[in-house]
Amino acid sequence: MIFNKLVRAEDRFREIEQALTLPEIISNNKEYSALMKEYRSLEPIIEKFREYKQAEKEMKDSDEMMRDSSVESELREMAEEEFHAARERLEALTQELKILLMPRDPNDSRNVIVEIRQGAGGEEAALFGADLYRMYSMYADSKRFKIEVASLNDTELGGIKEIVFNVIGDGAYSKFKFESGVHRVQRIPITESNGRIQTSTVTVAVLPEVDDIEVEVNPADIKIESCKSSGAGGQHINKTESAVRLTHKPSGIVIECDQERSQLQNKEKAMRLLYAKLYDIKQREQTEAIASTRKSQVGSGDRSEKIRTYNFPQSRVTDHRINKTIYSLGAFLDGDMDSIVDELIAVDTAERLKGEQNEN
């Protein structure tokens, strides 16, 4: 079954390769871009499939030499070694191809909208919210993603009560999607004179950015208001009514964007966030309809799920979904998140692969 899929994929790859050389395709930007996107998505599969066929040929050739009585014994021994090496490579390539052929999360390539909100712990929670925003900014920078802040409600001490920002770049959602949930911090707050460790929480929500055509919104259902920016202060804050507040009446969703000087730009950002939130609601309804056996081991991304603990006295980060602990908190908060993010992706992939095999 997998071989048939690969043969069809290779046929399609050759077809696209041919089409991309045609003048009528090259001159049609939209069609050319769509074909190039499909070509790039198929390329790693085809490269791996060609490696597979080469290993298969080497195994067959070695097998024939092993069985040929006219071949010297020394050469037959070498052929046997090559046979076993090719067979091991085939087994590994088969697993890699199964993963490559799995249906991708359609949101993985999208830009992402991240919301960080102060939870339990007062000012200390707000200060940790600022730490998380810095961490995500540095991680995004390491992946060459761009950050754009849509709204910010900060505190006099430099904490963040709430921030909404976009992460822009191909594959941003695939890297950030497992950050949704409750992040817990254990440390001595700067406001604590007795040196006692306090536990505080911050909630993170991650939404894929979507086009307006993917979500139906009746303009009559949206109330638009101009308002002054909120926050601890600054040159532009509270001086002009450039901030925009949108209220989606059917869902009760309220969105405020205040980081741009132009009311129009703030409105555009607010609308993008509204579409993302409505799309998220739609997706969650669909997810709840799926059998619990198909839920990923790394969690559902529920906002109330405690996903990670940051323990400062022990310089420890623990991700509770995969029971992984690392003792390099400083580096992690400086954006070096790959050790945990990559494992979350790997565990999710393994779980989905297991689900695919159980269904087949």
How do residues 216-237 score in pLDDT, each as one tens digit?
788 888 888 887 665 554 444 4
Assess whether 18 and 165 both reside in one domain.
no
Assess whether 233 and 360 both reside in one domain.
no
Assess whether 111 and 205 both reside in one domain.
yes
Assess whether 137 and 257 both reside in one domain.
no
| Strand order across the 222-227 sheet | 222-227, 243-248, 253-257
Q: Given a cut of 80, is residue 1 above it in pLDDT? A: no
Task: Give me the CATH number covering residue 330.
Answer: 3.30.70.1660
Highest mean pLDDT range out of 39-43, 201-205, 235-239, 256-260?
201-205
What range does the domain containing 229 cover? Answer: 213-290
Cβ-count burial 105-134 (b if 16+ within 10 Å, e if not):
eebebbbbbbbbbbbebebbbbbbbbbbbe
Cβ-count burial 30-67 (b if 16+ within 10 Å, e if not):
eebeebeeebeebeebbebbebbeebeebbeebbebbe
Q: Is 5 exposed, middle or buried (0-12, 13-18, 19+ CB in 10 A)?
A: middle
**Residue whose tokens read 């707050």:** 189
User: Nearest to residue 253, comparing CAs of 229, 282, 274?
Assistant: 274
**Residue whose tokens read 């420890």:** 316
Assess whether 25 and 85 both reside in one domain.
yes
Assess whether 123 and 204 both reside in one domain.
yes
Domain end position, chosen among 290, 309, 344:
290
Are 337 and 135 in contact by the 8 Å Cβ rule? The answer is yes
Assess whether 76 and 163 both reside in one domain.
no
For the chain, the domain total comes to 3
Assess whether 266 and 283 both reside in one domain.
yes
- Of the pLDDT bands very low, low, confident and very high (cuts 50, 70, 90), residue 356 is low
pLDDT digit string (tens) for 139-189?
999 999 999 998 899 999 899 999 999 999 988 999 999 999 999 999 998
Assess whether 141 and 95 both reside in one domain.
no
Assess whether 60 and 21 both reside in one domain.
yes
Domain end position, chosen among 234, 269, 290:
290
pLDDT digit string (tens) for 124-143?
999 999 999 999 999 999 99
